[in-house]
Amino acid sequence: MHPIQHPTDTPREALLDLLRRTAADPDRRILFTGATVLTMDPALGTLDRGDLLVRGSTIAAVGHDLRAAGAADGAIVVDATGTILTPGFVDTHRHAWQGQLRRIMPDVDDLGGYVAATLAGYAPAYRPEDMYVGTRLAALAAVDAGITTMLDFSHNARSAAHSDAAVRALVDTGIRGVHAAMGPHFGAWDRQWPADLDRLRDECRSELITFRLAALATAEIAGPAFAYGPELARRAAESGVAVSVDAVFGTASSAAVLDWERLGLLGPDLTLIHATGLTPEAWRAIGASGTTVALAPTSEAQIGLENAVPAVDEALAVGVRPGLSIDVEVALAGDMFTQMRALHAIQRMRAVNGAYGSGREPVRIGTADVLDLATRQGARTNGLGTVTGSLTPGLQADLLMITAEEVNNLPLNDAVGTVVLGADARNVDTVLIAGQVRKWAGRVLDLDLPALRARAAASREHVLRTAGRDGRGQTQEGQSPR
């Protein structure tokens, strides 16, 4: 047992050293004291000056003055005064392999431009090394910004080695990863997908990694082999994995949703990504079946996917509380704070605009809604609702300690509002994933930044050179890849 430490007696460097020395102890206890605790559990609510006890990989208790009750005997004590404890954010869809090409095309105008430049242009140039670098860079940045779970929609699986590299990057980062495997849209590949999914699942020994089958809604972009339907649904069922379907938008996807309903292919083990511009009938089918939805607020709005409006109102209207996601860092921000703020602003703008001049009261979502979507609902969307997403005793200890007394947040008046509207990655002081410290005192642990910087630069240069494009994403002849 570890002796109880008074918070002021132990500097943070010594605390970190103690936490790292005891990391392998399954009975190791960590007590966070004096925080505002946003449990995101409707039954527990918010605790002012609350405590949270971690035992091994799980949350053991949440309450007031746990030391007085004897529940924290032997715990390593972390003084969390002046901070907010929240569940880690959950990203329900990101193409992580593109990490070294961040913001290479920040003003892409439409989906066609993205597809031509990235999936047809850059993707065929990727080696397994590039898959590893891009995925690990995305995962490290996710942890830095408080994302503890990330679904990697890995749709550049050109060989088994490419997939192995992407999974290894998630494992090496220590993030809770969901590897959603799909073959590439264009170019040569080994045609090992989807059969290779079973091998990936069976060979991965990390308890933090789960697997999904990834697909597209229709055959319009990459052909029928990648379009979700009876064959891929059967394959997923045989492998015992859920399915994430990307590019769900417009009339073609609406027709596909109704076909899936008719065939019995909708349900809680299916996640539809984007879901913009769908018909009311398609939304009825989604809601009635319990199918989950992953929104990408900045992607839909900035790239202009179908009607460019994140479909939060449509989802809520049929009883679906969607998860949130990042999508593509080649053109978008990579943190959940941006997604929450974008969705909050767009939905409220849309509500007021729709009611303007009518005398009707706008139906607005609030900051508590978007934080719920970014945590608890995201976990449920990823099939991990019984694992993570809230600070509920018995769930995994995936949590954030967010500073509330920095210049951008002080004084603390409303904790939810501070997390959603005030905080950013610099305020994510501490990140725990399955009870293990991944970020401490504002620094991601086990990160050799100079080495990562050099490796990312070398990978980017290889991809650009091989794809015949320069650092601005243009072809060597100076034309836009679109």
| String of DSSP letters for 260-296 | HHHHT--STTEEEEEEET--HHHHHHHHHHT-EEEE-
Contacts of 147 (CB under 8 A, 6+ apart): 88, 89, 90, 91, 175, 335, 336
Last residue within a domain, chosen from 381, 404, 431: 381
Residue 217 lies in a domain: yes
Q: Mean pLDDT for each 10-residue chunk of the chain (482 residues)? A: 44 94 96 98 97 98 90 92 98 98 95 94 98 98 98 98 98 98 96 96 95 96 92 97 97 97 98 98 98 98 95 98 98 98 98 94 96 98 98 98 97 98 98 98 97 98 91 49 38
Q: Please state, in angstroms and rounded to a whole number, the distance separating the CA atoms of residues 92 and 379.
A: 8
**Which two tokens mark 196?**
């290779």
Residue 59 lies in a domain: yes
Compute the Cα dihedral for 118, 121, 127, 133 and give only its sign.
negative
H or E element at residue 162: helix 160-173
The answer to whether the CB of 83 falls within 8 A of the CB of 94 is no
Question: CB burial class (10 A; 0-12, 13-18, 19+) of residue 125?
Answer: middle
Contacts of 445 (CB under 8 A, 6+ apart): 437, 438, 439
Residues 67, 97, single domain; the answer is no
Q: How far from chain centre, in Å, is Cα 229? A: 25
Residues 416, 341, single domain; the answer is no
Residues 76, 94, single domain; the answer is no
Q: Please state, in angstroms and rounded to a whole number, the distance separating the CA atoms of residues 73 and 136.
A: 37
Helix axes 250-263, 280-289, angle to 10 degrees: 40
Q: Please state, in angstroms and rounded to a whole number, the distance separating the CA atoms of residues 148 and 389.
A: 9
State the residue range of the domain holding 401. Answer: 7-81+393-444
Residue 213 lies in a domain: yes
ω before 393 within 30° of 0 (cis)? no
Residues 331, 427, single domain; the answer is no
Of 223, 275, 266, which is closest to residue 246 (Cα–Cα)? 275
Residues 32, 164, single domain; the answer is no
Residues 125, 222, single domain; the answer is yes
Residues 366, 438, single domain; the answer is no
Helix axes 449-467, 128-144, angle to 10 degrees: 130
Residues 285, 418, single domain; the answer is no
**End-to-end Cα separation, the chain, in angstroms:** 62
ω before 297 within 30° of 0 (cis)? no
Residues 175, 277, single domain; the answer is yes
Residue located via tokens 């408080």 = 146
Percentages of the chain per state (helix, strand, coil), in multiples of 5: 40, 20, 40
| pLDDT, position 2 | 40
Residues 143, 289, single domain; the answer is yes
Q: How far from chain centre, in Å, is Cα 410? A: 27
| pLDDT, position 4 | 39
| pLDDT, position 35 | 98
Q: Please state, in angstroms and rounded to a whole number, the distance separating the CA atoms of residues 449 and 452.
A: 5
Q: Please state, in angstroms and rounded to a whole number, the distance separating the CA atoms of residues 375 and 91.
A: 9
> For the chain, what is the domain count?
2
Residues 117, 13, single domain; the answer is no
**Amino acid (1-letter code) at residue 396:** Q
Residue 150 lies in a domain: yes
**Which two tokens mark 52?**
């949270």
| pLDDT, position 471 | 52
Residue 436 lies in a domain: yes
Q: What CATH number is given to the structural domain containing 426?
A: 2.30.40.10
Of 135, 32, 383, which is closest to residue 240 (Cα–Cα)? 383
**Amino acid (1-letter code) at residue 294:** A
Residues 281, 212, single domain; the answer is yes
List helix spans (H) across 76-127: 111-114
| pLDDT, position 72 | 83
Q: Please state, in angstroms and rounded to a whole number, the distance separating the CA atoms of residues 89 and 150.
A: 9
| pLDDT, position 71 | 77
The answer to whether the CB of 303 falls within 8 A of the CB of 110 is yes
Residue 429 lies in a domain: yes
Name beta bridge partners: 396.
58
Name beta bridge partners: 177.
150, 209
H or E element at residue 337: helix 336-355
Q: Please state, in angstroms and rounded to a whole number, the distance separating the CA atoms of residues 254 and 134.
A: 33
Residue 336 lies in a domain: yes
The pTM score is 0.95
Q: Please state, in angstroms and rounded to a whole number, the distance separating the CA atoms of residues 30 and 75.
A: 5
Q: What CATH number is given to the structural domain containing 308?
A: 3.20.20.140
Residue 450 lies in a domain: no
Q: Is 331 helix (H, G, I), strand (E, B) or coil?
A: coil
